[in-house]
Amino acid sequence: MARPDASRPSRPRSTTPLADYLDRPAPGAGPDYLVVPRGLAEAMPLRWQQVFAGLLADLHDAYGHLDWPDYRVVPSRWELLRDLDEEQLAAAGYVADLDPEGGLEYRDATGEAVADPEHHRALAPVEETLPRPGDEVPPPRPAPAL
């Protein structure tokens, strides 16, 4: 009788490992999309790039026949309304106007006043903070095993 391999996990493996990973907080992952900054992807060690390119080729071979839209990715962060400038407010779907007493009043895209603007956060565009293709990138730090 074969002995169990002590290096293998004793719990059953998931049938949805990618969803399991992306359902927890992960940089660049949201409920509908996964964004991989190209500058970081191109800075990965060669073996990682080879594996990643192969996975992308498999994905595109399998689903390339679908009607893919073009995507516009905008670096964004959840910021307090009070910290946003006029352009950021507009991009996030908000406006700030003076109320009758001279204070700032924030309204959403439907015209409704924001009840607690001092604590309300909105996903607003920000400057890119990650390296772009060709930029110097620090060496990768390996992730802990899943």
Which pTM value belongs to this model? 0.71
Listed by start position, the domains of the chain span 21-63, 76-125
Question: Bridge-partner residues for 98, per DSSP?
Answer: 104
Query: Which residues, given as ranges, of the chain have pLDDT below 70?
Result: 1-12
Q: Which residue has the tokens 């949201």?
A: 30
* Residues in CB range of 136: below 8 A, 6 or more apart: none
pLDDT digits (tens, 9 = 90+) for 51-77: 999 999 999 999 999 999 999 999 999
Q: What is the spatial distance between Cα 9 and Cα 120, in angstroms, rounded to a whole number?
A: 43
